Amino acid sequence: MTKQNAVISALGGYTPDTILDNKMLEKMVDTSDEWITSRTGIKERRILSDSTLATSDMAAFAIKNLLDNSGVAPEEIECLILATSTPDHILTPTASLVCEKAGLKNAWGFDFNAACSGFLFALSTGAAFIESRRHKKVLVVGADQMSAIVNYEDRNTCVLFGDGAGAVLLEPANEGEGVIDSIFKTDGSGTQFLSVPAGGSLYPASEETIAGKKHFVHQDGKTVFKNAINGMSSTSSAIMERNNLDADAVDWIIPHQANLRIIQAVSDRLKFPIEKVKINIQKYGNTTAATIPLCLWDFKDDFKPGENIVLTAFGAGFTWGSTYLKWGTLRKAN
């Protein structure tokens, strides 16, 4: 039996209407538009300002966008994998709520937390369901409401993050297309450098954790910056070498959108032209698990069947890795 690859056959995305730009942040913390732009490349980010909505709603909106664009019926979806670090609740899978809100009546689903690497890890997991012939239609969604866990009094973190969701549909691929290979890494010693310290079983919510602002993102920016460059460049280089690809053979690199300087440094390390690196961090900021699917959604018209694409990410944990795929033909609604 020949190997059955999984191909991305449809895309969807959602970002909230509310925009938080750098000028607005100047009024909230000791910062400036010039400082934020020069150090991160971010000009604005989208914020889910409706208090009645949460991560599950953004994920459902992205899925509905995908289904509308592709003509696939919600009943056809067999499995949903939701990559998120901001679940609606600690206990009860957010994927269950997403299935309900998106009308996925025949799908089972589960949450997947690998922070900013979550979408890539989930994509590989979803591809395995297709490769094993267990399922024929698997949705992989990256969605995060980072505004819910960001301290807007901390200028070092509040300037970085935004909210959003991106979705891809995986189906059996035609020959010569689809997800080809992945290299993933984890290093638990990095946990101390990027985390939300409290709210889990180690430090349950208490007056002390709330007073200490331990339910917000805490980050050692310099350590994360250095490790992100090393991690994404090393796994991207390794996956290209393993698949006999040089920089000329790769059509696009789609990196996690954490910081423009990180993206530029990875491009330099790989000796890869920045013109072939997809970047939208300037308008969304870091949406964690949503950055790569939102890039795919934003730039879908640029990709042509058969093109070689490398996806790469780095996140809390530490977690990092790269995926190599050949682009296929996207479904279109009749």
Active site positions, annotated: 116, 256, 286
Going by C-alpha positions, the residue among 286, 156, 290, 149 that lies closest to residue 228 is: 286
* 28 phi, psi to nearest 5 deg: -105, -35
Structure tokens belonging to residue 241: 């070498």
The span from the CA of 142 to the CA of 289, in Å, is 5
Q: Amino acid letter at 277?
A: V
CB-side exposure of 85: number of CA atoms within 13 Å? 32
Q: Amino acid letter at 142?
A: G
User: Would you list the DSSP string of 119-161?
Assistant: HHHHHHHHHHHHHTTS-S-EEEEEEEEGGGS--TT-HHHHTTB
If you ran DSSP here, which 8-state letter would residue 277 be given? B
Contact 156, 104 (CB under 8 A): no
Q: Are strands 252-255 and 308-315 parallel, antiparallel or unpaired?
A: parallel
* 77 phi, psi to nearest 5 deg: -75, 130
Going by C-alpha positions, the residue among 241, 262, 234, 266 that lies closest to residue 253 is: 266
